[in-house]
A and B are shown apart, each in its own frame.
Chain A
Amino acid sequence: MDLLWQTSAPLAATELRDELAGDPAITTVLTVLSRLEAKGFVTRDRDRRPHLFRASLRRDDYMAQLMYEVLGSAPDREAVLARFVGRASKTEADHLRKLLGA
Chain B
Amino acid sequence: MTEAIPLGILAVVLAWPVPVALARARWALRMPALAMLCWQAIAVAGGLSMIAALWYLSRGAAVLLALHLLLNLGLTTLGAMRQRRRHLQLVELLSTPMPDRPGTRLIENEAPVAYCLPGAPRSVTVLSDGLLRLLTEDELAAVVAHERAHVTQHHHIVLIAFKAWRTALPWFPIASRAEDAVALLVELLADDDARQVVSDDVLASAVTAVAGADAASVASRVARLTA
A-to-B contact residues, CB < 8 Å:
1, 39, 41, 59, 62-63, 65-67, 69-71, 76, 78-92, 95-96
B90 touches A65 (CB 8 A): yes
Closest 5 CB pairs of A and B: A89-B214, A84-B114, A83-B115, A79-B80, A95-B111
B93 touches A80 (CB 8 A): no
B115 touches A81 (CB 8 A): yes
A81 touches B217 (CB 8 A): no
Q: A66-B87, A79-B76, A80-B83 are in contact. Are A41 and B117 (CB under 8 A)?
A: no
Tell me if B107 is interfacial: C-beta within 8 Å of chain A: yes
Q: Which of A1, A63, A79, A90 has the most CB of B within 10 A?
A: A79
State how many angstroms separate the Cβ of B35 from the closest Cβ of chain A.
Answer: 17
A84 touches B146 (CB 8 A): yes
Beta-carbon nearest neighbor of B214 in chain A:
A89
Chain B 202-227 against A: per-residue CB contact (8 Å), 1 yes, 0 no? 00001100111110011000000000
A80 touches B87 (CB 8 A): yes
B210 touches A80 (CB 8 A): no
Tell me if B168 is interfacial: C-beta within 8 Å of chain A: no
State how many angstroms separate the Cβ of A88 from the closest Cβ of chain B.
Answer: 8
> What DSSP secondary structure best describes chain A's contact surface?
helix
In addition to A39-B89, A69-B87, A80-B87, 20 A-B residue pairs with Cβ atoms within 8 Å of each other are: A66-B87, A66-B90, A67-B111, A78-B183, A81-B87, A81-B115, A81-B116, A82-B186, A84-B114, A84-B115, A84-B207, A86-B187, A87-B214, A87-B217, A89-B212, A89-B214, A90-B214, A91-B111, A91-B212, A92-B113
Tell me if B143 is interfacial: C-beta within 8 Å of chain A: yes
Q: A79-B76, A89-B212 are in contact. Are A66 and B94 (CB under 8 A)?
A: yes
Number of inter-chain CB pairs below 8 Å: 107
| Other-chain residue from B107, B112, B143, B150 in contact with A66 (beta carbon distance below 8 A) | B107
B-to-A contact residues, CB < 8 Å:
76, 79-80, 83-84, 87, 89-91, 93-94, 107-118, 126, 143, 146-147, 150, 155-156, 159-160, 163, 183, 186-187, 190, 206-207, 210-214, 217-218
State how many angstroms separate the Cβ of B222 from the closest Cβ of chain A.
Answer: 11
A82 touches B156 (CB 8 A): yes
Beta-carbon nearest neighbor of A87 in chain B:
B217
| Other-chain residue from A1, A39, A63 in contact with B109 (beta carbon distance below 8 A) | A63
Cα(A86)–Cα(B118), bound, Å: 16
A84 touches B210 (CB 8 A): yes
B93 touches A41 (CB 8 A): yes
Beta-carbon nearest neighbor of B95 in chain A:
A66
Q: A66-B107, A92-B111 are in contact. Are A81 and B117 (CB under 8 A)?
A: yes
| Other-chain residue from A82, A90, A95 in contact with B115 (beta carbon distance below 8 A) | A82
